[in-house]
Amino acid sequence: MYYGAYVLDKIAKEIGRRLGLSLRQVRFFCNWEVKDALLKDKYDANKLNERYNFSLIYTDSVHRPVVYIGKAAQEFLDRSTFVEQKVKKVEKLFGICASPGRAKGRVSIIETVDDLKKMKKGDVMLSETTYPALVPAMKLASAIVTNVGGLTCHAAIVSRELKIPCVVGTKIATKVLRDGDLVEVDATRGIVKKI
């Protein structure tokens, strides 16, 4: 992965040298624009600068990329449903079973290494996602619940190794549950319920 990034950086620098653009500008080319820029000298440096200031690429329903720049990008975000909305009160969450089993316990939201000190043995660990530095908290957990992830994510693999129930991909667990809430995790069915 790192070698690939290294090579791409070298290629981007060479494209910039040939076109008289900065590396920053080259990084804001869409992949389908590079060929025309190199072969036909067809590109708009001002548009690349605008993309740097504020832009997004969205893949539509038929997997075509659409580029929004500046005000159009902000308007798209404002009307989009995937931008975080205020979450209503939820009693039951659904996700993917990453490691089967059942557990009850108090919620402990662990997002960073600084949060490790609040984790107690038997707590249900909640996190957006997990990574190796959070393993000490995972070892204390009676169950693990994450907002994101699938069967091969870090939380899933570690929970199976530790034989701890785990539900991943709930999307909103850390947004609707708080530290100290009592929950029941039925990981086999992918359900987390506030009790």
92-194: CATH topology is: Glucose Oxidase; domain 1 (3.50.30)
Burial class (CB in 10 A: 0-12, 13-18, 19+), 103: buried
Residues whose CB is less than 8 angstroms from the CB of residue 85 and which lie 6 or more positions away in sequence, other chains included? none
Q: Are 139 and 155 in contact (CB under 8 A)?
A: no
Query: pLDDT tens digits for the chain (195 residues)?
Result: 556 778 888 999 999 999 999 999 999 998 889 999 999 999 999 989 888 888 888 887 777 788 888 888 888 887 775 545 566 678 899 999 999 999 999 999 999 999 999 999 999 999 999 999 999 999 999 999 999 999 999 999 999 999 999 999 999 999 999 999 999 999 999 999 999
Q: Are 185 and 167 in contact (CB under 8 A)?
A: yes
Task: Please tell me the distance from the alpha carbon of residue 6 to that of residue 79, in angstroms, as a whole number.
Answer: 37
What values do phi and psi take at 15, rounded to 5? -60, -45
Whole-model pTM: value is 0.60
Catalytic positions are 154
Task: Please tell me the distance from the alpha carbon of residue 126 to that of residue 141, in angstroms, as a whole number.
Answer: 10
Q: Are 100 and 185 in contact (CB under 8 A)?
A: no
3-state SS assignment for residue 64? coil
Residue ranges per domain, the chain? 2-79, 92-194
